[in-house]
Amino acid sequence: MSDINKVVLAYSGGLDTSVIARWLQDTYNCEVVTFTADIGQGEEVEPARAKAQAMGIREIYIDDLREEFVRDFVFPMFRANTVYEGEYLLGTSIARPLIAKRLIEIANETGADAISHGATGKGNDQVRFELGAYALKPGIRVIAPWREWDLNSREALMAYCASHDIPVDYSNAKKKSPYSMDANLLHISYEGDILEDPWAEPEEDMWRWSVSPEAAPDQSTYIELDFERGDIVAIDGQAMSPATVLEHLNEVGGANGVGRDDIVENRYVGMKSRGCYETPGGTIMLKAHRAMESLTLDREVTHLKDELMPRYANLIYNGYWWSPERRMLQTAIDDSQTVVNGKVRLKLYKGNVMVVGRQSADSLFDESIATFEADQGAYNQADAEGFIKLNALRMRIAASKGRSPL
């Protein structure tokens, strides 16, 4: 007899999680609560309700988390200019702590003993979901069916549906993309099929959010972004909520061929994985935010942030959003953003994002000092001689002792 009475399942309504819902009922003889999150994946989430009801699910949660996702997860991450391994803007990674948080909230509300997810035993998501869950509710049980069952192919899942009366639209299932995809307001990712060969070029019809740079307009698109404390609050003078900002940037970026990436990354579990990503809005946000910081942040603060960023990126990629070290870093990052206010003007053209203007009341740029013209004594160039000699002192001493660098 199972000691699991109720499980909260992260439920998409797709084939995998529909099988999991029934498998949990049969294997653990437990009640299943489904949770479906709308984080901007671009697909209707309400059909998940009918599918869950058809399997006898009585407690069904469908939540619109788009604003919370961008406000409390995406924006804080972009304040740090976060990039994993030089390229990946962490679109999948940053959604997982929010889903883990809501799973635990629902478990508390419904008195559930456990949570469950559809992540495989090969990927990063299992780590992200479970580290978040344990950080928020240490005694929670986690059921990961892909680590327990022997349904290891799409054909096996379809056969399970047929033998257990699970409603599946077989025509749509056969038309399903050959790629494993994950989407939210920040990005859409593609893995599997021909992408498992790192030499194979992605097919053009794979991409969903962006036109190819070759097919992008021949005329540049200009946009102006207003920042307050490191976050974009308006586009072209129009105030927008966090989710609306990202939606708009995705549209304008995708229309100009911005945001495609093809990466081989190092997964936390040890293997290398090839994935393709579309992150048009995030690509624009990163470029604009760095431009705003270049005008307003102190030099050493900027450099320290750049040193900390790879550690911060690893924490998010590996699932440690709810860790004390990530929260400590976030406090320092957010403190630096009090002066990151102003406006950045960008030019988008055939996949490129170019900064063409920036201004701020908190600017540290002093034209009277930086000018190549007469500076009226604002900077004494003779001071540079002593500055250079003092910085060269240790090298001069070493060379005089025979420690030549040649």
Enumerate the H helices of 190-323 as residue ranges.
242-255, 280-296, 299-318
Query: Which domains occur in the chain, in start order?
Result: 6-67+90-176 (3.40.50.620), 183-297+340-359 (3.90.1260.10), 370-400 (no CATH)
List Cβ neighbours of 114 (8 Å cut-off, separation of 6 or more): 4, 6, 7, 8, 30, 107, 140, 141, 142, 143
**pTM, whole model, 2 decimals?**
0.94
Strands 231-235 and 238-239: antiparallel
Query: Would the CA dihedral through 351, 67, 62, 34 be positive or negative?
Result: positive
- Over its length of 406 residues, how does the chain's per-residue pLDDT go in tens digits? 478 999 999 999 888 999 999 999 999 999 999 999 999 998 888 889 999 998 899 999 999 999 999 999 999 999 999 999 999 999 999 999 999 999 999 999 999 999 999 999 989 999 999 999 999 999 999 999 999 998 888 889 989 998 888 877 655 555 567 888 999 999 999 999 999 999 999 999 999 999 999 999 999 999 999 999 999 999 999 999 999 999 999 999 999 999 999 999 999 999 999 999 999 999 999 999 999 999 999 999 999 999 999 999 999 999 999 999 999 999 999 999 999 999 999 999 999 999 999 999 999 999 888 878 887 888 888 999 999 999 999 999 999 999 988 8
Active site residue 125: yes
pLDDT digits (tens, 9 = 90+) for 52-104: 998 899 999 999 999 999 999 999 999 999 999 999 999 999 999 999 999 99
102 catalytically annotated: no
Point out the catalytic residue in the list 22, 96, 102, 326.
Answer: 96
3-state secondary structure 335-398: HHHHHCCEEEEEEEECCEEEEEEEECCCCCCCHHHHCCCCCCCCCCCCHHHHHHHHHHHHHHHH
Pick the catalytic residue from 141, 180, 360, 363: 180
Active-site position among 38, 125, 226, 231: 125
